Structure 1
Amino acid sequence: MPELTAFGPDFPFAYDDWITHPDGLGSIPRDQHGTPVAVIGAGASGIIAAYELMKLGLRPVIYESARFGGRLRSQPFEGSDGIIAELGGMRFPKSSRGFFHYLDLMGCRTSPFPNPLSAAAGSTVIDLEGETFFARKLDDLPPLYREIAEAYDKALADQAAFPDLQEAIRARDTTRIKELWNPLVAKWDERTFYDFIAGSDAFREKGFRHREVFGQVGFGTGGWDSDFPNSMLEILRVNLLGLDDDQHLVEGGVDQVLKRLWRATPPCAHWPEGTSLASLNGGITRSRATAIARNANGTLNVTDQWGNAERYDAVLSTCQTHLLTTAIEVEEDLFAQSLWMALDRTRYMQSAKTFVMVDRPFWKDIDPATGRPLMSMTLTDRLTRGTYFFDNGPDQPAVICLSYAWMTDALKVLPLSADKRVDLALKALKKIYPDVDIAAHIRGAPICVSWEADANFLGAFKGALPGHYRYNHRIYGHFMQEQLPQSQRGLFIAGDGVSWTPAWVEGAVQTGLNAVWGIMAHFGGKTPEANPGPGDFYPELGPIALT
């Protein structure tokens, strides 16, 4: 059976084939070589797009408001030797073939992520309404949990043609994908994930308890109740593309993928051997971009926080889309009013994580009374929601993600200090593991994040609401600029929030590559005849337009 990859379903284009083709992505006219292009944001989308633009012979000038890496943020614990907390993206599905191409290219290594009931986790504890269950696999849990898994599989098959659609995605059968997916867009765009669950025969006949437990502890990576208000299309894409399956962590921290791309010296058009993004940028990014405007000669000015203005023929913005209406003063005429509406209506979800470093992986110690590990990967309805354990080896300190929560659960701790968050998490876990003294093993200061409190993000990732498909369609297809009026050309947008798969790095990669094609076309370039790009296929395979 072919591997499942993030191929479509809205735009089934083989990005992994495009970026690995021996003929390369394309070329631009020689007289455009060396032309500066502004790239706003040094996250996955910005750095990968800049890397490919450099190879085309352009000169990417990268602006970053805070930390290099965006939401691929691997933060070291103070006083440690490379012990990190993954504050943003931390688990990466193997179906993300575009991202894994760059990860492998940079020589980074991965390991299976310790998700619930996975071999990497070793064991899992589910604590719900004060009742605790220990399991190593699904069959170790009470029948209720198997019934929930079966009910969800049946709901997907009955209401979303799931087996047939996933088979078409595996086969990369674009005709069949469109035939099955396009009717689902019209059917489910204006309906919620909870509507899909509650309205299915499989769950309706089971009763509320099954839906409640599904929301609290869910399937795959944990509970899904924070996504219940979202458009069902959002969840279907996650399931169809295997984004919640076979997930891996990047050893040593995921931000090293982007740091290595920054320093990498691939063969490039125009640029001499040894050229890197770092060398083209003088070894450091520009400061925060604060304004984008059209100037008198028709090109674009980008102004940084210190008032320095530079002129560019093209600008790529990869920041969260709502920062274009709050943090960056963007001239209104650069986007159509319908696109401004889509940018403003994009809704971002809250997310909070609390990490501590401990002296060793003590949770693996065997409790002599039970014969089980002292602690396990834990899913609960308590404040912590999800607790994950990371073993860095027997002679190294270890890391515990005490709490990973979204939406309302994330907002509960938003105003609290790191110490208070740890205190609340320890009290919650003490009710599940009364005989374990976690605090005795903690070393150094905790590391916490609330993405909605960061002025450079104002949220973790997009969560499309019912009725948002049209908005997503507008921002996703904006890289196709040939039909736009001249006044709206040259400013491109990318990032996972522009993609159909928010919260997943593959969406950032794919939209960054869309922008590379768009910028190449903007400079009069083209793709090789043997390796057409996303814009070449977009008129034929692009997302369905709802009336």
Structure 2
Amino acid sequence: MEPDAPITIFGPDFPFAYDDWLTHPAGLGTVPDEALGTEVAIIGAGMAGMTAAYELMRMGLKPVVYEADRIGGRLRSEPFVEGEPEIAELGGMRFPISSRSFFHYVDTFGLRYSPFPNPLTEAAGSTVIDIGGQTLYARTLDDLPPIYREISEAWDSALERIAGFSGLQAAIAARDVTELKRRWNALVSQWDDRSFYDFLSTSTEFGSLTFRHRELFGQVGFGTGGWDSDFGNSMLEILRVVLTNCDTDQYLVVGGAEQVPHRLWTHAPQQITHWPAGTSLSSLHHGAPRAGVRSLRRLGPNRIEVTDRWGDTREFPAVIATCQAWLLSTEIDCDEALFSQDLWMALDRTRYMQSSKTFVMVDRPFWTDRDPVTGRDVLSMTLTDRLTRGTYLFDNGPDRPGVICLSYTWMSDSLKVLPHAVERRVELALAALRKIYPDLDIAEHIVGRPITVSWEDDPHFLGAFKGALPGHYRYNTRMYGHFHDQHTLPADEQGIFIAGDDVSFMPAWVEGAVQTGLNAVWGVMTHLGGRSHPDNPGPGDVYDALGPIDIGK
């Protein structure tokens, strides 16, 4: 292992080095000459779809992208004023540096990124925790009462004793596949059917503490904020997040994360097969993707019919579906035979978590002002049990407007504001914050229009992202491994591939979208008779050796 090797999203379920595969000089692979220029349908222009389309284009194929709304998917950066840099990040907004494949594209396109202002980080400056009517001001964990240190130590100790945390992270950093699979597979068998809350409540560390400790952990958590919206999820899902440092060392993309899928759309790669120099996805589409998909039909071997919402029908030998899994049952009329009943069960049992955000633009980053009496910042990154839950502050410089995410909520907290228009959501958020900052008038600083989102209310998404329940490991494995299993499937089920963060083992994290998009690239390549370079085997080439453990029927 190299000195101080970094923790990356390397497995743990399928420890394949996607970042190395992407950057290898041999490339991702080739297709036969007779397949060059072949059209492949891509359903959805989010990060998974754009990754797959871009890499298939570089390989010499012709992606045909279908998109029901806008390029970007849940990387949605909404400007307050068109043409100005102040944006509301309605979807993904904080990206762990361990997302090596995602940052490969960020770096390729020369985009800048900076530390995200998470609670108790230097980027946030100061943090206010307001729980049960008690308001605490802090810059680091040491500024908080001892109970918070007790929670942090209990969490770290439980992870180490029960999960062997340091050993697993050492294996990830060293990319020691044998050791990582040995340790992780044992945890899969032990924790597949147990929840996050079960882990806390039955651990010796938290069991010796009070309910108040668990309550505060749920409300405040560590790293990105509270954990209670995940309490019902499989503990395996939480272990993946913390093992791969998804909850630490996070960054925002300056100017908006939506730039990444847009650059994939417009960028003309230097290394490209078959297509002339200067070719981009945009140029192949004459500037705009096809409309959203209305139906998918099997016409015969290597013949899948795609019909868009306006009735235009085309045939393809291969299709990649990157939309939310539920849309294959609701928005898109699919031949049931396209997938096995076991896979349909997994797709339909996917559980999406609700999420809402409400943003305002303000005249300046006034939260850097100091209260003359207390010497504290007049407004801080705020975690609370009130309606807002999490409030984040984005400083664009002293000569630019600032942006406040007034409220970032999940699950039942998100449903509380679902019926309300954006103006009412702002009023409710300001009323909650006024109880924490009674001497501060946030409203007097607001300029322009507020912006909000409830992902569960969008028919193209039906939720923010997947949250696997206990017992869902088999469903995860069916979805994730579908790209590799094609050669074992009946002819009626071949040629269609699924991708997206909800197909991955890392839902809610963009790296899962990128990695499954790359899986689909390998799947399409081999389906059309291509192969990886022998010096750079792809994910499907090593899946039998590295794939997830089979935990039985």
TM-score of the superposed pair, with normalisation by structure 1: 0.99
Mind listing any 5+ residue stretches in structure 2 that lack a counterpart? none
Identify which of 154, 157, 162 aligns with 1:154.
Answer: 157
Identify which of 398, 403, 413 aligns with 2:402.
Answer: 398
Aligned to 1:99: 102
Aligned to 1:282: 286
Aligned to 1:137: 140
Which stretches of structure 1, 4 residues or more, deviate above 3 A after TM superposition? none
Query: Contact 2:28 / 2:536 at 8 angstroms: preserved in 1?
Result: yes
Aligned to 1:328: 332
Query: 3-state DSSP class of the match of 1:427?
Result: helix
Q: Percent identity?
A: 65
Q: Distance in 2 between matches of 1:313 and 1:177?
A: 37
Aligned to 1:520: 525
Aligned to 2:51: 48
Query: 3-state DSSP class of the match of 2:487?
Result: coil
How far is the alpha carbon of 1:186 from its aligned partner?
Answer: 1.1
Alignment of 1:405-484 (within 5 A): 405-480=409-484, 481-484=486-489
Alignment of 1:322-401 (within 5 A): 322-401=326-405
Query: 3-state DSSP class of the match of 1:448?
Result: strand
Query: 3-state DSSP class of the match of 2:450?
Result: strand
Aligned to 1:316: 320
Identify which of 246, 249, 252 aligns with 1:246.
Answer: 249
Aligned residue pairs: how many?
547
1:487-513 per-position Cα deviation (integer Å, ceiling 9, x unaligned): 110000000000000000000000000
Identify which of 223, 226, 230 aligns with 1:227.
Answer: 230
How far is the alpha carbon of 1:445 from its aligned partner?
Answer: 1.1
Aligned to 1:196: 199
Q: CA RMSD in A?
A: 0.8
- Residue type of the partner of 2:506? T
Q: Distance in 2 between matches of 1:207 and 1:400?
A: 35
Query: 3-state DSSP class of the match of 1:145?
Result: helix
Query: 3-state DSSP class of the match of 2:200?
Result: helix
Query: 3-state DSSP class of the match of 1:452?
Result: helix
How far is the alpha carbon of 1:158 from its aligned partner?
Answer: 1.3
- Residue type of the partner of 1:415? P
Aligned to 1:510: 515
Identify which of 295, 319, 324 aligns with 2:299.
Answer: 295
How far is the alpha carbon of 1:95 from its aligned partner?
Answer: 0.1
Q: Distance in 1 between matches of 2:322 and 2:84?
A: 32
How far is the alpha carbon of 1:401 from its aligned partner?
Answer: 0.2
Q: Determine if the alignment matches structure 1 residue 500 to structure 2 residue 512.
A: no
Q: Distance in 2 between matches of 1:474 and 1:498?
A: 9
Aligned to 2:10: 7
Query: Contact 2:364 / 2:402 at 8 angstroms: preserved in 1?
Result: yes
Q: Distance in 1 between matches of 2:291 and 2:456?
A: 21
Q: Distance in 2 between matches of 1:337 and 1:257?
A: 35
Aligned to 1:537: 542
Q: Distance in 2 between matches of 1:132 and 1:227?
A: 24
1:314-351 per-position Cα deviation (integer Å, ceiling 9, x unaligned): 00000000100000011011101100000010000000
Change (3 A) 1:108 1:47: same
Query: 3-state DSSP class of the match of 1:355?
Result: strand
Q: Distance in 2 between matches of 1:263 and 1:449?
A: 27
Q: Distance in 1 between matches of 2:81 and 2:10?
A: 40
Query: Contact 1:10 / 1:500 at 8 angstroms: preserved in 2?
Result: yes
Q: Distance in 1 between matches of 2:246 and 2:527?
A: 32
Query: Contact 1:452 / 1:460 at 8 angstroms: preserved in 2?
Result: yes
How far is the alpha carbon of 1:161 from its aligned partner?
Answer: 1.1
Query: Contact 2:301 / 2:491 at 8 angstroms: preserved in 1?
Result: no
Query: Contact 1:92 / 1:248 at 8 angstroms: preserved in 2?
Result: yes
Q: Determine if the alignment matches structure 1 residue 120 to structure 2 residue 118.
A: no
1:228-257 per-position Cα deviation (integer Å, ceiling 9, x unaligned): 000000000000000011000000011111
Q: Distance in 2 between matches of 1:118 and 1:135?
A: 10
1:204-232 per-position Cα deviation (integer Å, ceiling 9, x unaligned): 10121110100000111100000000000
Identify which of 167, 170, 188 aligns with 2:170.
Answer: 167
Q: Distance in 1 between matches of 2:221 and 2:302?
A: 52
Identify which of 18, 29, 43 aligns with 2:32.
Answer: 29
Aligned to 2:276: 272
Q: Distance in 1 between matches of 2:70 and 2:197?
A: 36
Query: 3-state DSSP class of the match of 2:542?
Result: helix
How far is the alpha carbon of 1:263 from its aligned partner?
Answer: 1.0
Query: 3-state DSSP class of the match of 1:372?
Result: coil
Aligned to 1:17: 20
Query: Contact 2:302 / 2:495 at 8 angstroms: preserved in 1?
Result: no
Q: Distance in 1 between matches of 2:374 and 2:160?
A: 40
Q: Distance in 2 between matches of 1:39 and 1:65?
A: 12
Q: Distance in 1 between matches of 2:282 and 2:438?
A: 51
How far is the alpha carbon of 1:82 from its aligned partner?
Answer: 2.4
Query: 3-state DSSP class of the match of 1:470?
Result: helix
Task: Between 352-361 and 154-163, report the one with greater CA deviation.
Answer: 154-163
Aligned to 2:495: 490
Aligned to 2:92: 89
Q: Distance in 2 between matches of 1:404 and 1:362?
A: 20
Q: Distance in 2 between matches of 1:103 and 1:311?
A: 33
Mind listing any 5+ residue stretches in structure 1 that lack a counterpart? none
Identify which of 164, 181, 184 aligns with 1:181.
Answer: 184
Query: Contact 2:480 / 2:516 at 8 angstroms: preserved in 1?
Result: yes
How far is the alpha carbon of 1:78 from its aligned partner?
Answer: 3.4
Query: Contact 2:302 / 2:318 at 8 angstroms: preserved in 1?
Result: no
Query: Contact 2:301 / 2:492 at 8 angstroms: preserved in 1?
Result: no
Q: Distance in 2 between matches of 1:349 and 1:186?
A: 25
- Residue type of the partner of 2:107? D
Task: Between 279-288 and 292-301, report the one with greater CA deviation.
Answer: 292-301
- Residue type of the partner of 1:206? L
Query: Contact 2:302 / 2:316 at 8 angstroms: preserved in 1?
Result: no
Query: Contact 1:79 / 1:444 at 8 angstroms: preserved in 2?
Result: no
Q: Distance in 2 between matches of 1:80 and 1:279?
A: 23
How far is the alpha carbon of 1:258 from its aligned partner?
Answer: 1.3
Query: 3-state DSSP class of the match of 1:373?
Result: coil
Q: Distance in 1 between matches of 2:184 and 2:298?
A: 39
How far is the alpha carbon of 1:297 from its aligned partner?
Answer: 5.9
Q: Distance in 1 between matches of 2:352 and 2:50?
A: 22
- Residue type of the partner of 1:429? L
Query: Contact 1:315 / 1:491 at 8 angstroms: preserved in 2?
Result: yes
